[in-house]
Structure 1
Amino acid sequence: MGQLILSQAIANVDRLASFWVLRRRPIAAAIHEVLHIAEQSHKKQTKALHESLAYSQQLKSELGILATVQGQLETDLDKAESEQKSLYSQLIHKQAEYINVSSRYDLIASLLRAKPQDNSGQQHFKYLLENDFMRFANQVASLPDEAQAVIELQGVAEELALVAGFPGIHGKNLIAVAGGFSSGKSEFVNSFIQDASFRLAVGLNPVTAIPAYVSGAKNSQVLAFSSQGGSVPLTMNEFHALTHDFVRDFAFDLKTVMPYVSLSTQLGDKGFEHICFIDTPGYDPAATGGFTQHDHDIALQYASQAGVVFWVIGLDVNGTLPNSDLEFLRELLNITTAPFYIIANKADLRAEEDIAEILDEIEEVLEFEEIPIEGICAYSSVLGCELQFRGRSLFDYLSVKNRAVEKEQQLIKQVSNVFDRYRRSIDEDIERSARMSNCFRSLHLDILQTGDEELFLHMGKRFEELRNEFTSKSFQHNLEVANEIEGKMVKAIEDSFKLISTPIGVVGCKKAK
């Protein structure tokens, strides 16, 4: 359009110039020059415009490429940041695994290095049990509950090792706190501990993997005991790490190296200085796997060694004693004479009228099952108080049990009970042997009365062999060996307690929780 107008302007100027040839020629020339310059400028601008448009298109294309590259770079950056986070997370996990493995190694190494207390009596008892007694038990096969006898003597050996390595427990009344998984056993014990920073681990998953002795003392301390009788101190973090998951990560049964731990701390506002709770694993841990499948046996073992058994049920999920609890109690009743006391825990989650019905129901079930108890109480571990009870009150019962126990005589009595059963069994064997010998003699005489002298002489040798087979001499020897081993074991117990140092002083707390 601009070019057309310019052409027309030039033509008009030419016509005007011819008209004004004489008068306006200079002016026309000047105008023509200006228009020429304008035409040249227009061409340059047009060219520049085209070049600018081309350059703009090139820039636009390059910007598109840059935007694509930027998008790819942003995608790569996001991916790199995601990978970095993942690698960092893996690093943290590996560091945690390393720390976990390192802590397990340090614990095992410390336990293996721990030297047992220098107590010759306790060590001699262990030697007698593992050598003299086991040889004797292999020779005497007539005791019906021989396995239980071995377990009982092993329990004596463990208590001797415990008292030797942990003098603070000497003279205390052992109360096993037993029950099913998540019934609140550890929280029940915690309700008596006055130090808020010193607690047994609790949780929704099975926590207690290693039995813990919790006793009253001035200073708080945690000790892990090795199977050889040595001990090493633990921090609370290290102690809380001893969960089922921690134990399961070992390639072996940790309890063979570290059978139990002990906690010394201030207990209760009543000053329970002669009480020691044993926090046992739940006998029915929920799918914990690994070696913790033996928790049933461990709970049974430690509960049978205690002077009293507190059986804990959780009222958050139970309104009475579950059948599995009753089966365990019946099993426990067969191997211990310790009295039972029922703790209906988490009672604060129930209405008052419901609690009364539940206690009545539990009492009726136990009476029907012929399981004797000292009492039942509805207890709140959170509030640290007893809400209702049947029979004896919990705190009254604890006050009765808060008296020094003559552990030495208790252990001697346990040993004597085992050998009394062996003596009765051997005496029965002697009587049976005498009856058989008399029977063969009578038969021999009966043959003589028949008048068949040849048969009498022939059978005489056979009957003599049978009488020798059923002689009481071997049984008399076994009886003498039993008395000898019992005497040595009693002497070892007495020597062990002579070497035990003075117990650590213990006091109760001044303020109730």
Structure 2
Amino acid sequence: MITDLFPATLFTQLDKLSRFFVWRRRPLHESIATALQSADARHHAVNQAHQHTLARLEALIQSHAQLTEQQASTTAELDSTRQALLDARHSLEKLQTKLRQDQEQAKLRFDALSTQHSLLGQERDQLEAARLTLEQTLEVTRVELLASTEATESLQQSLARHQQTNAELAERFQALQQRHGDTWTRFELISRLLAARPQESAGLARFRELLATDYMAFAESESSLAAEAKALTLLQSIEQELALLVSFPDVRKRTIVGIIGGFSSGKSEFINSFIHDPQVRLAVGLKPVTAIPSYVLATDERMIRGYSASGGHINLDVDFYKNVSHAFINSFSFDLKSLMPFMCVGVQMRPECLSDICFIDTPGYNPPSTAAEHSQGDRRTAVQFAQQAESIIWLIGLDSNGTVPDSDLEFIQHIGVEGRSVYVVLTKADLKAEEDIDDILEEVQNRLDDEGIQIEGISAYSSTLREEVAYRKVSLLEHFARINRSGNTRQHLEKRLGEVFAMYDEAIQADIAALKAQKVAINGLRLDCLEFGGQEVYERMLAPIDKLTLSLSTSPLEAWLKESRRLHEAFSEAVQQTAAALEAG
């Protein structure tokens, strides 16, 4: 290293310096000093190059560590995605196998019914032939036995019996034909729903995976939140809304407006009053008719779809949609809503105030006790879909008692109206005298004020006449015009996710605060033992107090709080991934 820094002549000069006289050493000294300074400069440059090389080496080591970590993360994600695809393929194969089996069973039933139909036809032909023979025999008997009145009457009675039998058989044949047609309709619907393929969405798949695994594990272990069922319902409604957005992206541009109300409040007839297409009508009636929730929005072309539980959809015709009621659902041996949870209807509506609005027609939350078995889940369905709405239209039928039912107030408070506009519509206004409507509006306004429920306005509206009789604050159409704006689905879903996990955070933090307060109280007890009981009492109580203090550890709660925030972030990423894919498409 020394020979690299100093020139070779320096050593020669040093050798000379040892032999020269004093008077000749100054030039050599100056030459040597110059060489040493040059060597010191080169040494400084080499040292700086060395430090720069060390810095680059450190940066390369850090970059290598980051790349190694990214490679491990990418490998884990690829393995997870590969496993999810394998599971989905396995599930699809199972569904296809079950579909083939159902088709084979249906074909066997159809063949059996066809055979029975043929047999009945043959029996009818035989009876018809027998009837003709009897008529011929009767004619011959009349000619031969004109004098025998009793025999003629007997034969006439016999003929009447055969005609009655023939009529009964004809009725049975017609009933079998009707039953066969209904069976085929139901079979075709189920087959199409099972065969409907969902749209591909990595974000939606991730959301469903989080809901089925991570969240359920968290909910089973966490015990701070009392309203855990409400949190699960909110997450499930977000999942359904994501599925609808994936298969029908146009919905994400609309403001979701929930039409809510009790049984027979006129929700379906209210939406019908804004539909211009005379052939499309939501089912109405005195019995519960809204069986499957429907998204209704304004479109240029008519569109009716049924959405399967797997996320796929099928197109439905108008006649079929008109028949989708509780009675139709009850004709199945299972709850059809588990296979087709909701429908989407696009029709021509008033563009000036409804072009960017999507209605949700929900079942009545309070079906009568006489309703069929599958109707008893209507409240759960109404809650789940009402919580999707950014704005609420609250319908109250004026054919009841002209005031706000307690059950309506309980339902509104259950679904929550914070951050959402609420507009009250008193339907069936044509059933009340005009002089009574002002008093009813006043009474409803006072009742809502007493309950602390903020509303945008109240309207007395007749769906059959399609007109507003009276209103308070803001008219119905003006309210629609205010909320008729493009929706921000990502922001809406993020807000609803925030509501879910805010409940968890508040509940867990409240438990943590309670435990900390108990610890403070225990520390006070420890000091009291020492102050008032003396050293002996203090030492005797020390072990139980320490044991009690250890049992009040906040570590599990803090772990749950951390997991809650992780889940919130993961769900939010899945929503953002889904929305980003839709926006990019």
TM-score > 0.5 by shorter chain: yes
Give 3-state SS (helix, strand or coil) of 1:270's partner: helix
Q: Equivalences for 1:88-103 in 2 at 5 Å? A: 88-103=170-185
Counterpart of 1:313 in structure 2 is 396
Provide closer, same or farther for how the CA distance between residues 206 and 418 of structure 1 changes in structure 2, counting only shifts above 3 A.
Answer: closer
Provide closer, same or farther for how the CA distance between residues 180 and 73 of structure 1 changes in structure 2, counting only shifts above 3 A.
Answer: farther
Deviation at 1:476, TM superposition (A): 1.9
Give 3-state SS (helix, strand or coil) of 1:500's partner: helix
TM-score by length of 1: 0.79
Counterpart of 1:437 in structure 2 is 519
Q: Is the 8 A contact 1:119 1:500 kept in 2?
A: no
Q: How many angstroms apart in 2 are the aligned matches of 1:433 and 1:206?
A: 49
Residue 471 in 1 paired to residue 549 in 2? Answer: no
Q: Is the 8 A contact 2:265 2:427 kept in 1?
A: yes
Counterpart of 2:162 in structure 1 is 80
Q: Is the 8 A contact 1:174 1:278 kept in 2?
A: yes
Identity %: 34
Provide closer, same or farther for how the CA distance between residues 367 and 150 of structure 1 changes in structure 2, counting only shifts above 3 A.
Answer: same
Residue 157 in 1 paired to residue 239 in 2? Answer: yes
Corresponding residue to 2:409 among 314, 329, 343: 329
Q: How many angstroms apart in 2 are the aligned matches of 1:228 and 1:109?
A: 13
Q: How many angstroms apart in 2 are the aligned matches of 1:484 and 1:423?
A: 12
> Match of 1:411, as an amino acid?
L
Q: Equivalences for 1:41-440 in 2 at 5 Å? A: 62-65=145-148, 67-286=149-368, 287-315=370-398, 317-318=399-400, 320-321=402-403, 323=405, 326-337=406-417, 338-440=420-522
Q: Is the 8 A contact 1:167 1:502 kept in 2?
A: no
Q: Is the 8 A contact 1:300 1:332 kept in 2?
A: no
Q: How many angstroms apart in 2 are the aligned matches of 1:374 and 1:93?
A: 53
Provide closer, same or farther for how the CA distance between residues 375 and 115 of structure 1 changes in structure 2, counting only shifts above 3 A.
Answer: same
Q: Is the 8 A contact 1:330 1:371 kept in 2?
A: no
With 225-234 and 489-498 compared, the bigger mean Cα shift is at: 225-234
> Match of 2:395, as an amino acid?
V
Q: How many angstroms apart in 1 are the aligned matches of 2:143 and 2:305?
A: 76
Counterpart of 2:128 in structure 1 is none
Counterpart of 2:105 in structure 1 is none
Q: How many angstroms apart in 1 are the aligned matches of 2:191 and 2:358?
A: 28
Q: How many angstroms apart in 2 are the aligned matches of 1:354 and 1:427?
A: 51
RMSD of aligned C-alpha atoms?
2.5
> Match of 2:354, as an amino acid?
F
Residues 459-498 of structure 1 deviation map (CA, whole Å, 9 limit, x = unaligned) = 5444443333222222221121111111111100000112
Residues 243-266 of structure 1 deviation map (CA, whole Å, 9 limit, x = unaligned) = 111112222222122111110111
Give 3-state SS (helix, strand or coil) of 1:219's partner: coil
Q: Is the 8 A contact 1:319 1:358 kept in 2?
A: no
Q: Is the 8 A contact 2:308 2:340 kept in 1?
A: yes
Q: Is the 8 A contact 2:403 2:440 kept in 1?
A: no
Provide closer, same or farther for how the CA distance between residues 442 and 342 of structure 1 changes in structure 2, counting only shifts above 3 A.
Answer: closer
Q: How many angstroms apart in 2 are the aligned matches of 1:459 and 1:354?
A: 74
Q: How many angstroms apart in 1 are the aligned matches of 2:583 and 2:177?
A: 43
> Match of 2:253, as an amino acid?
G
> Match of 1:302, as an amino acid?
F
Deviation at 1:399, TM superposition (A): 0.2
Provide closer, same or farther for how the CA distance between residues 197 and 64 of structure 1 changes in structure 2, counting only shifts above 3 A.
Answer: same
Provide closer, same or farther for how the CA distance between residues 398 and 304 of structure 1 changes in structure 2, counting only shifts above 3 A.
Answer: same
Q: How many angstroms apart in 2 are the aligned matches of 1:172 and 1:132?
A: 31
Q: Is the 8 A contact 2:262 2:408 kept in 1?
A: no
Residues 79-131 of structure 1 deviation map (CA, whole Å, 9 limit, x = unaligned) = 22222222222222222222222222222222222222111111211211221
Structure 1 residues not aligned, in runs of 5+: 1-58, 504-513
Q: Whose RCO is larger (CA < 8 A, sep 6+)?
A: 1
User: Which is helix-richer, 1 or 2?
Assistant: 2
Deviation at 1:383, TM superposition (A): 2.8
Q: Is the 8 A contact 1:376 1:391 kept in 2?
A: yes
Counterpart of 1:40 in structure 2 is none
> Match of 1:291, as an amino acid?
H
Give 3-state SS (helix, strand or coil) of 1:383's partner: coil
Q: Is the 8 A contact 1:222 1:264 kept in 2?
A: yes
Q: Is the 8 A contact 2:404 2:444 kept in 1?
A: no
Counterpart of 1:50 in structure 2 is none
Q: How many angstroms apart in 2 are the aligned matches of 1:104 and 1:314?
A: 34
Residues 238-292 of structure 1 deviation map (CA, whole Å, 9 limit, x = unaligned) = 2122111111222222212211111011111525121111111223334222211
Deviation at 1:61, TM superposition (A): 10
Q: Is the 8 A contact 1:186 1:201 kept in 2?
A: yes
Provide closer, same or farther for how the CA distance between residues 335 and 106 of structure 1 changes in structure 2, counting only shifts above 3 A.
Answer: same
Provide closer, same or farther for how the CA distance between residues 81 and 411 of structure 1 changes in structure 2, counting only shifts above 3 A.
Answer: same
Q: Is the 8 A contact 1:343 1:378 kept in 2?
A: yes
Deviation at 1:237, TM superposition (A): 1.7
Q: How many angstroms apart in 2 are the aligned matches of 1:282 and 1:502?
A: 38
Provide closer, same or farther for how the CA distance between residues 427 and 95 of structure 1 changes in structure 2, counting only shifts above 3 A.
Answer: same
Provide closer, same or farther for how the CA distance between residues 416 and 365 of structure 1 changes in structure 2, counting only shifts above 3 A.
Answer: closer
Provide closer, same or farther for how the CA distance between residues 62 and 83 of structure 1 changes in structure 2, counting only shifts above 3 A.
Answer: closer
Deviation at 1:171, TM superposition (A): 2.2
Deviation at 1:396, TM superposition (A): 0.2
Q: How many angstroms apart in 1 are the aligned matches of 2:258 and 2:584?
A: 24
Provide closer, same or farther for how the CA distance between residues 271 and 423 of structure 1 changes in structure 2, counting only shifts above 3 A.
Answer: closer
> Match of 2:371, as an amino acid?
T
Q: How many angstroms apart in 2 are the aligned matches of 1:225 and 1:60?
A: 71
Higher-Rg structure is: 1
Provide closer, same or farther for how the CA distance between residues 328 and 387 of structure 1 changes in structure 2, counting only shifts above 3 A.
Answer: closer
Deviation at 1:224, TM superposition (A): 0.8
Q: Is the 8 A contact 1:304 1:332 kept in 2?
A: no
Q: How many angstroms apart in 2 are the aligned matches of 1:493 and 1:103?
A: 37
| Matched residue count | 440
Q: How many angstroms apart in 2 are the aligned matches of 1:186 and 1:490?
A: 34
Q: Is the 8 A contact 1:219 1:265 kept in 2?
A: yes
Structure 2 residues not aligned, in runs of 5+: 1-141
Q: How many angstroms apart in 2 are the aligned matches of 1:358 and 1:409?
A: 38
Deviation at 1:318, TM superposition (A): 3.2
TM-score by length of 2: 0.70
With 228-237 and 208-217 compared, the bigger mean Cα shift is at: 228-237
Q: How many angstroms apart in 1 are the aligned matches of 2:187 and 2:145?
A: 62
Q: How many angstroms apart in 1 are the aligned matches of 2:143 and 2:284?
A: 67
Deviation at 1:425, TM superposition (A): 2.1
